[in-house]
Chain A
Amino acid sequence: GAVVSQHPSWVICKSGTSVKIECRSLDFQATTMFWYRQFPKQSLMLMATSNEGSKATYEQGVEKDKFLINHASLTLSTLTVTSAHPEDSSFYICSTDLGQAADTQYFGPGTRLTVL
């Protein structure tokens, strides 16, 4: 069954507005969650690693102030795209390693963001 859920599954917003995407772990506590972005016909790119109770670690080239990550509980991480612009339109996917420090990551169903 599903390990991770995301909400919403899709969202359309106007340019300049902020959008929040939720990632929830189901039936387990996720110390670490990962946020990826996937553009059409391209591979998944890691944006940041979210750690419960501490600041997220961002990959090179990802703007911390634009993509705000909060991991306030062991079952919820949120990604807020601030002042969204059309170039932020993408498929955002979260994942977790089940909190076992294992190697395999399990992905959520993704959120399609379209910025008009």
Chain B
Amino acid sequence: EDQVTQSPEALRLQEGESSSLNCSYTVSGLRGLFWYRQDPGKGPEFLFTLYSAGEEKEKERLKATLTKKESFLHITAPKPEDSATYLCAVRSTGGGNKLTFGTGTQLKVEL
């Protein structure tokens, strides 16, 4: 059974204080790892898809990396508008279309 564990559960940063969020996963075969941002009361907003170990993707202050066991979402010089819950999900080769989500990291960036 696919499993996704995210840490920390919550993270409070000062504006400009860079940090990383962790997503550890267990799958029989990885078809894709996904990062989403979710604001309160809203649906998840797509950020990145990663497919193989060593792959990296960047978007503004965010950078996602992937190894065979985990993924990191690096946030460089965050701003208050980066405050949200960041969700990690995996799709396995044997899981069809199913996405398995972690419980997310709730990030708050303060001035």
Which residues in A have some Cβ–Cβ distance to B below 8 Å? 4, 6, 32, 34, 41-46, 49, 59, 91, 93, 95, 97, 103-110, 112
Which residues in B have some Cβ–Cβ distance to A below 8 Å? 4, 31-32, 34, 36, 41-46, 49, 51, 87, 89, 91, 96-99, 101-104
Q: Across the interface, do A49 and B97 meet the contact criterion of CB distance under 8 Å?
A: yes
How close is B90's CB to chain A, nearest CB, in angstroms?
Answer: 10
Q: Which residues of A contact B32 (CB under 8 A)?
A: 103-104
User: What are 28 A-to-B residue pairs whose CB atoms are below 8 Å?
Assistant: A4-B43, A6-B43, A34-B99, A41-B103, A42-B103, A43-B4, A43-B103, A43-B104, A44-B87, A44-B89, A46-B98, A46-B99, A59-B98, A93-B44, A103-B49, A103-B51, A103-B91, A104-B34, A104-B46, A105-B34, A105-B46, A105-B97, A105-B99, A107-B36, A107-B45, A107-B46, A109-B42, A110-B41
CA–CA, A44 and B89, complex, Å? 9
A42 to B, closest residue via Cβ: B103
Known contacts A103-B31, A103-B91, A43 near B43 by CB under 8 Å: no
**Contacting residue for A44 out of B31, B41, B44, B97, CB 8 A:** B44
How close is A64's CB to chain B, nearest CB, in angstroms?
Answer: 17
Q: Across the interface, do A110 and B103 meet the contact criterion of CB distance under 8 Å?
A: no
CA–CA, A103 and B97, complex, Å? 8
Q: Across the interface, do B99 and A43 meet the contact criterion of CB distance under 8 Å?
A: no
CA–CA, A6 and B43, complex, Å? 10
Told that A43-B104, A49-B97 touch, could you supply 9 new A-B pairs with CB distance under 8 A? A34-B99, A44-B44, A44-B87, A44-B89, A93-B43, A105-B97, A107-B36, A109-B43, A110-B42
Q: Across the interface, do A112 and B41 meet the contact criterion of CB distance under 8 Å?
A: yes
B102 to A, closest residue via Cβ: A43
How close is A44's CB to chain B, nearest CB, in angstroms?
Answer: 5
